[in-house]
Every structure is written in structure tokens, then in C-alpha cells.
């Protein structure tokens, strides 16, 4: 099972290259052009990373996070939710860049294979920046009434977070 | 976002002053600034690589084959009466791009699709059922291989970076089912 999962990415890469060559595309040029786009993306998200890294670091180092989590403490321990996951859950629907940097911070301080590291990776990978997506798509056609979209999107996010926490706690990963 | 970010900083500074360890504020800003740079530098290579690879994918016929599969699903999920052919085409391209992780292409096709859906929408300032459902599907992360997450896990020393793929699929599926059920119910009531 693990071997199959590990094969997915290399096979995927090889398939793309083979299809590209078969259709006589200039795959090297396309690759380099795409890389440049990637670099621009990094350039664009860096300010978010900096803003949120500073803020989350301050919350933790000053002890403010412990203070905020006091009322939630019984709930967190009961359901096996690590403290550092809470800021991620709050930020995930609002900002992709910000939540990405929270995930980085969790992986760095707690470790990629720790309980919170796994939860953070799954939550980040299985959800989208709900608010941003709604704004872009409805914004493009000038719609301001949202009807049920926001609520349904947040229900989906919440169910993703809960499922991720359960999966890690029962040891699926 | 401004309120949350502002609150994070202000609360931290207030707690620091209150508990008397004000020096931590300045030293934390310095350390975390360095951390932010290290984090992004670690990610640059992988992000560029995947973007380059997906740029090849986007220009081949594979993406079209992929999107044909989605046009069938669209027929089942959406109200066909308010759906024109172009809308179906853009919607399937949008979903196919999301699945393979070409964010830019997904956004472009998503916007074109919603413009087509808007043409069939009688009330211009209020989304119809197809539009709400389409936007909801876009707020779910359909990505098949979460490349950024795997890169991050590898960067921070995971023993098996791609082990999250399967759990991510399960969680995405659960979220999508909850989301679609909710929007179908809410579409009738709101």
C-alpha cells in the first residue's frame, strides 16, 4: 500500500513528460516558463508568510496563545486536538498564504510526523481558501448576495477539520 | 483578515507587557522574520518544479481527455435547463485543472464558467442554484496530488512525505459530500 502511494508522484511526472514528448511539445521550454510562474507565486506569497509567521510566533512566545486557549482547554483535551492546530482552523477559510505559513511553523516546531504536523498537513491539503474562492468567482460577475454558499462552504471546512483530527487520532496515518 | 492579524499582534503585545517579558516581543519579531525567510527558501525549488511540470501538462491534450470525464458528472450535479454548452465546457476544464493542481488555469476557467452561468441567470444580482453549487465545488480542494504539502513534509524531515495523500483524499471526499448536501438543502431555503 505504502509502495503504491509512493509510486503515484514519480509515475505522474513520467506520464506528463512522455505525453509531452509524444505530442512533440517543447517540454524544456514549457518547464522553464512554468518555473518562472512558480517563482512569481513565491514572490507574491512571501509577505503573507512573513506577516503570519511573526504574528503566530508572537502569540506563542509571549504566552498569549495559552491565555486564549484557557476556555477551550477541556474541549481540546477531550477530543485530542493539539493547541497549535487551533489558529490554523480559524485562518484556513480566510487566507491561503497565512494558513500555509501556520502549517510550515507547525511542521518545523512539532515535526512533520508529529500528531499536530499530520493534522495540519491533512487540513491544509484537503481544504481551499473558501472566502477567497467565493469572492473571486462571484466578484467576476458582480454578485453580492451569497445565498447559502458561505454557510455550506464553512460546513464543508468544519467537516474536513473534524475528519482530519479523527483520522490522525485513530492512527490511520 | 486584518482584524484577526491585528488582534493576534495586539493581544500578544498586551500579554507581554502584562506579564513583564516585553523583550520577547522584539526578539520574537527578529527570530520569526528569519524563520519566514528560511521557510520560503526551502519551498522555492519545489514550487517552481511543479509549476514547470504542470505548464507542460496544461499544453498537452491530456487535460482535455481529463475534462471530458467531468462533463458527465456535471450533467448529474447541476440543473441542465439553465446550463449552456460553453458553461459545461468551462466547468469541466475548471474541475480538471483543480484536480491536477493547476491553480491558475482553474481560476481562469472558473471565471469563464461563472460568466456563462450568469447569462442563464434571470436575477443578475442573485446567484441561481447552479452558480451556488459550482462555487461550492470550487471551495472544495479537489487536488489529486497535494504537491505543496508533500514538499513541505519532505522539507521538515517526514519519514514518508507522501503518506498524507490517502487521508487527504478521504477528508476531501467527506468535506465535498457535506458541502454538496448542505448547498442542496440551503438552495431550497435561501
For residue range B57-96, list pLDDT tens digits in order: 888 888 778 778 888 889 889 988 888 888 998 899 899 8
How many CA atoms, within 13 angstroms, populate the side-chain half-sphere of residue A33?
A: 11
Distance, in Å, from the CA atom of A24 to the CA atom of B150, rounded to the nearest integer, reads: 30
Tens of pLDDT, residues B4-48: 789 889 999 999 998 988 888 999 999 889 888 887 887 788 878
Residues facing A127 on adjacent strands: B140
Report the pLDDT averaged over residues A71-89.
Answer: 90
User: Is A37 inside any structural domain?
Assistant: no
Share the mean pLDDT of chain A: 89
Residue B102 makes CB contacts below 8 A (sequence gap 6+) with B54, B57, B58, B63
Which candidate, A133, A129, A66, A143, places its Cα nearest to that of A97? A129
Q: With an 8 Å Cβ cutoff, are B55 and A124 in contact?
A: no
Q: Is A144 helix (H, G, I), strand (E, B) or coil?
A: coil
Number of Cβ within 10 Å of residue A26's Cβ equals: 12
Distance, in Å, from the CA atom of B125 to the CA atom of B128, rounded to the nearest integer, reads: 10
Residue B125 makes CB contacts below 8 A (sequence gap 6+) with A142, A143, A144, A145
For B172, which of A126, A130, A146 is closest by C-beta distance? A126
Please, which pLDDT band fits residue B1 given cuts at 50, 70 and 90? Answer: low
User: Is A59 inside any structural domain?
Assistant: yes
- Residue B14 parent element (H or E): helix B2-19
| Chain A hits for B137, Cβ within 8 Å | none
- Residue A89 parent element (H or E): helix A85-91
Kindly state the DSSP code that residue B121 receives in the 8-state scheme. Answer: -
How many CA atoms, within 13 angstroms, populate the side-chain half-sphere of residue B178?
A: 22
**A77 exposed, middle or buried (CB, 10 Å; 0-12, 13-18, 19+)?**
exposed
> What is the pLDDT at residue B182?
97
Number of Cβ within 10 Å of residue B84's Cβ equals: 11
For A55, which of B8, B15, B136 is closest by C-beta distance? B8
Q: With an 8 Å Cβ cutoff, are B32 and A33 in contact?
A: no
Q: With an 8 Å Cβ cutoff, are A6 and B162 in contact?
A: yes
Q: What percent of chain B has pLDDT over 90?
A: 42
- Residue B42 parent element (H or E): helix B23-59
- Indicate whether B187 pLDDT > 90: yes
- Indicate whether A114 pLDDT > 70: yes
Report the pLDDT averaged over residues A157-164.
Answer: 96
- Indicate whether A96 pLDDT > 70: yes
Which candidate, A132, A137, A157, A129, places its Cα nearest to that of B127? A137
- Report in angstroms the alpha-carbon separations of B144 from A41, A145, A150, B186: 20, 31, 24, 28
Please, which pLDDT band fits residue A73 given cuts at 50, 70 and 90? Answer: confident
> What is the pLDDT at residue A81?
93
Measure B149 CA to nearest chain A CA, in Å: 6
User: Is A94 inside any structural domain?
Assistant: yes
ipTM above 0.90, yes or no: no
User: Is A40 inside any structural domain?
Assistant: no
Distance of CA B153 to the CA centre of its chain: 19
User: Is A11 inside any structural domain?
Assistant: no
Closest residue in chain B to residue A20, using alpha carbons only: B60
Count: domains in chain A? 1
> What is the pLDDT at residue A112?
95
| Chain B hits for A90, Cβ within 8 Å | 4
CA-based R_g, chain B, Å:
22
Q: How far apart are the first and last CA of chain A?
A: 12
Distance, in Å, from the CA atom of B184 to the CA atom of B132, rounded to the nearest integer, reads: 9
For A2, which of B21, B56, B163 is closest by C-beta distance? B163
The residue ranking higher by pLDDT, A114 or A95, is A114
Tens of pLDDT, residues A30-67: 999 989 988 887 887 788 878 888 888 898 889 888 88
Q: Hey, where are the domains in chain B?
A: 1-42, 60-189
> What is the pLDDT at residue B9?
92
- Indicate whether B104 pLDDT > 80: no
Domain that holds residue A85: 49-169
Torsion of CA B45, B50, B55, B61, to 10 degrees: 160
Measure B81 CA to nearest chain A CA, in Å: 20
Measure B158 CA to nearest chain A CA, in Å: 5
User: Is A129 inside any structural domain?
Assistant: yes
- Indicate whether A2 pLDDT > 80: no
The residue ranking higher by pLDDT, B175 or A53, is B175
Q: What percent of chain A has pLDDT over 90?
A: 44
Amino acid at each position: 500500500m505504502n509502495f503504491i502511494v509512493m509510486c503515484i508522484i514519480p509515475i505522474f511526472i513520467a506520464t506528463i513528460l512522455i505525453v509531452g514528448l509524444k505530442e512533440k511539445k517543447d517540454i524544456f521550454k514549457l518547464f522553464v516558463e512554468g518555473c518562472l510562474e512558480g517563482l512569481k507565486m513565491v514572490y507574491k506569497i512571501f509577505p503573507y508568510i512573513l506577516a503570519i509567521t511573526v504574528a503566530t510566533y508572537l502569540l506563542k512566545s509571549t504566552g498569549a496563545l495559552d491565555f486564549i486557549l484557557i476556555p477551550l482547554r477541556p474541549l481540546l483535551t477531550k477530543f485530542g486536538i493539539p493547541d497549535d492546530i487551533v489558529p490554523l482552523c480559524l485562518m484556513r477559510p480566510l487566507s491561503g498564504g497565512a494558513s500555509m505559513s501556520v502549517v510550515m511553523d507547525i511542521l518545523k516546531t512539532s515535526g512533520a510526523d508529529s500528531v499536530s504536523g499530520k493534522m495540519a498537513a491533512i487540513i491544509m491539503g484537503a481544504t481551499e481558501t473558501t472566502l477567497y474562492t467565493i469572492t473571486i468567482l462571484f466578484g467576476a460577475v458582480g454578485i453580492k448576495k451569497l445565498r447559502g454558499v458561505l454557510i455550506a462552504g464553512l460546513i464543508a471546512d468544519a467537516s474536513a477539520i473534524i475528519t482530519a483530527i479523527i483520522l490522525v487520532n485513530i492512527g490511520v496515518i | 483578515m486584518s482584524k484577526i492579524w491585528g488582534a493576534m499582534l495586539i493581544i500578544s503585545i498586551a500579554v507581554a507587557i502584562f506579564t513583564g517579558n516585553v523583550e520577547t516581543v522584539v526578539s520574537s519579531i527578529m527570530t520569526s522574520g528569519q524563520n519566514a525567510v528560511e521557510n520560503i527558501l526551502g519551498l522555492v525549488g519545489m514550487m517552481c518544479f511543479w509549476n514547470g511540470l504542470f505548464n507542460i501538462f496544461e499544453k498537452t491534450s491530456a487535460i482535455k481527455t481529463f475534462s471530458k470525464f467531468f462533463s458527465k458528472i456535471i450533467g448529474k450535479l447541476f440543473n441542465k435547463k439553465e446550463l449552456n454548452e460553453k458553461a459545461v465546457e468551462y466547468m469541466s476544464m475548471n474541475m480538471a485543472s483543480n484536480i491536477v493542481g493547476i491553480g491558475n488555469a482553474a481560476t481562469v476557467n472558473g471565471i469563464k464558467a461563472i460568466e456563462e452561468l450568469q447569462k442563464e441567470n434571470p436575477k443578475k444580482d442573485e446567484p441561481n442554484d447552479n452558480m451556488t453549487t459550482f462555487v461550492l465545488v470550487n471551495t472544495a480542494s479537489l487536488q489529486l496530488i497535494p504537491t505543496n504539502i508533500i514538499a513541505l513534509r519532505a522539507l521538515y524531515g517526514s519519514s514518508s512525505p507522501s503518506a498524507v495523500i490517502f487521508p487527504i483524499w478521504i477528508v476531501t471526499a467527506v468535506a465535498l459530500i457535506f458541502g454538496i448536501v448542505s448547498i442542496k438543502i440551503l438552495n431550497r431555503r435561501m
